[in-house]
Amino acid sequence: MLQVNEIETFYGETQALFGMSLEVRTAEVVALLGPNGAGKTTTLRSILGLSPPRRGQIAFDGQDITGMPTHRISRLGIGWVPDDRRVFPTLTGRRNLAIGARRTRFRSWSEEDMCEIFTALQHLLRRECENMSGGELQMVAISRALMGSPGMMLFDEPSQGLAPKIVQDVFKTVLRLKEEGVSSLLVEQNALAALEVADRAYVMDRGQIIHEGSARELLDNAPLRRRLIGM
Ligand SMILES: Nc1ncnc2c1ncn2[C@@H]1O[C@H](COP(=O)(O)OP(=O)(O)OP(=O)(O)O)[C@@H](O)[C@H]1O
Ligand SMILES: [Mg+2]
């Protein structure tokens, strides 16, 4: 579904990714872990064309998307839930969902589907986003991304700052998406929770992948886990 091959991404003259490669298969959940500044967000930005890599290739759904503008990449079916959620504050939940709505070759999701996944969303549709809590904004942000009919979702620290109940809902959603054939690339500080839902995991440090393996292996092998992610 997604192949990232040896990409090198820069901010001005500062290099942030050094030959980073990863793969996400259809209906697979992949965790991308690593310390602050490792390059996790930059990897997502590179995939989305927000920070296009200077070298290397990225392919999605059999197409080379390296250097493609972001709006075309998202229309191919890549959904993004950014770390700052980035909804339109003065618009209602409903308008935010409508703005994200696109058809792709992948499964489409309606407002009703989203209200079934997040029961609290119903009440948010008529409210303006500027008055919402972090958890409410996250539900809107995830729903908006799904309205774009993605084949793959990129989540950047989706559980950050959320109450435990909402964190649970977010991870349940990732599993529900998997059942529906949608892949997820999941960047998380909450590594143990991410590994519980992930099939495979990559660990990054200083712009490179330092480990790749099954999520189960990292969960079960405590010494390895402590060495790689310090928990
Ligand atoms: N806009 C930017 N301009 C310059 N350097 C940047 C910019 N954004 C990130 N960097 C640098 O790129 C490197 C990777 O940052 P990135 O945000 O991808 O890390 P991260 O793994 O997402 O970290 P965190 O866990 O803190 O979110 C860091 O050294 C960071 O300082
Ligand atoms: Mg980040």
Q: Which of 8, 14, 81, 157 to mutate to test the pocket of ligand 1 (most atoms within 8 A of CB)?
A: 14
Considering the entire predicted model, what is its pTM? 0.96
139-159: per-residue pLDDT in tens?
999 999 999 999 999 999 999
Q: Where are the alpha helices (DSSP H) in 14-121?
A: 40-47, 70-77, 93-100, 111-117
Q: Which H or E element spans position 6? A: strand 2-11
**Mean pLDDT, residues 24-45:** 97
pLDDT tens column, 184-211:
999 999 999 999 999 999 999 999 999 9
The 10s digit of each residue's pLDDT in 55-79 is 999 999 999 999 999 999 999 999 9
Note the pLDDT tens digit of each residue in 97-137.
999 899 999 999 999 999 999 999 999 999 999 989 999 99
What the chain holds in terms of domains, given with CATH numbers, is 2-87+150-229 (3.40.50.300)
CA of 126 to the centre of ligand 2 (A): 31
Ligand 1 neighbour 37 (Cβ under 6 A): yes
Contacts of 14 (CB under 8 A, 6+ apart): none
Per-residue pLDDT, 84? 86
